[in-house]
Amino acid sequence: MTKVLPKKYWDTSLFLCFLNPDENERRKICEDNLEHAKNGEFIIFTSIWTMIEVIRPRKKTFPSSEKLTPLQISKIQKMFEWDWLKKIQVDERVSKKAVELCRDFDMHPSDAIHGATAILYETEAIQKWDRDFNKITHLIKVEEPIFLTKQLSLIEKPKESLIGPHPEDFEP
C-alpha cells in the first residue's frame, strides 16, 4: 500500500523570502519546512504561475531597480526543480476555477490562480506570507508556515547546506 503524503500549497511569497535580505527569519522557517518535505514528510505544491511571479516580483517586495541577470534567473529556476515540489500547470480546469474565485470573491487574478490550484489539487492548506486569501478560508485552510523542528537546529547553518538561492545572489 502506497503512503499518501500530505500536500501543502506554497504561495509565491514563500519563494520570495529566498531573494529578500529582509526576510531572514521567514527564510529560516521555509528552510525548515523544505527539510521536512525533502525528508518525505509532505509534498509542496505550487502553480507554474509562481515561477513567473518569483522571477518578476513586485517592486515593493523586491525593491532592486535592476533586472535579474540570466545567472540569477537560473538560481531561482533551480528552486522549481526540487524533487519534493510538485508544479501544477495552469490548465483550463484551473483557469475556470480561478475565474469563479475572481467573480465570487473579488480576488486578484494571480491569487485566484493560487487558490484554484490549491483547492482543485486538494492540498491541506495554502501557506503564505503576504497574500490575502481570507476571502476563501471557508473553501481551504489558509496559514503561515511555522517551524516544524526546534529553531535551535537552524542556527547559523553554513550557506552551502541551505536550500535555495540566497539574498546576496540578488544584490545589485
Residue 69 has pLDDT above 60, yes or no: yes
Q: Is the pLDDT of residue 132 over 90?
A: no
Q: What pLDDT, on a 0 to 100 scale, did the predictor assign at position 161?
A: 59
- What is the tally of structural domains in the chain? 1
Q: Residue 22 is part of which domain span?
A: 7-166
Confidence bin at 128 (pLDDT 50/70/90): very high
> 10 Å Cβ neighbour count for 56?
11
- How much is the pLDDT for 172? 59
As a whole number, the mean pLDDT across the chain is 87
Q: Say which CATH number the domain at 102 has.
A: 3.40.50.1010
pLDDT computed for residue 58 by the predictor: 60
In a domain, residue 1? The reply is: no
Q: Which three cell numbers stand for residue 96?
A: 475556470
Question: Is there a domain that residue 22 lies in?
Answer: yes
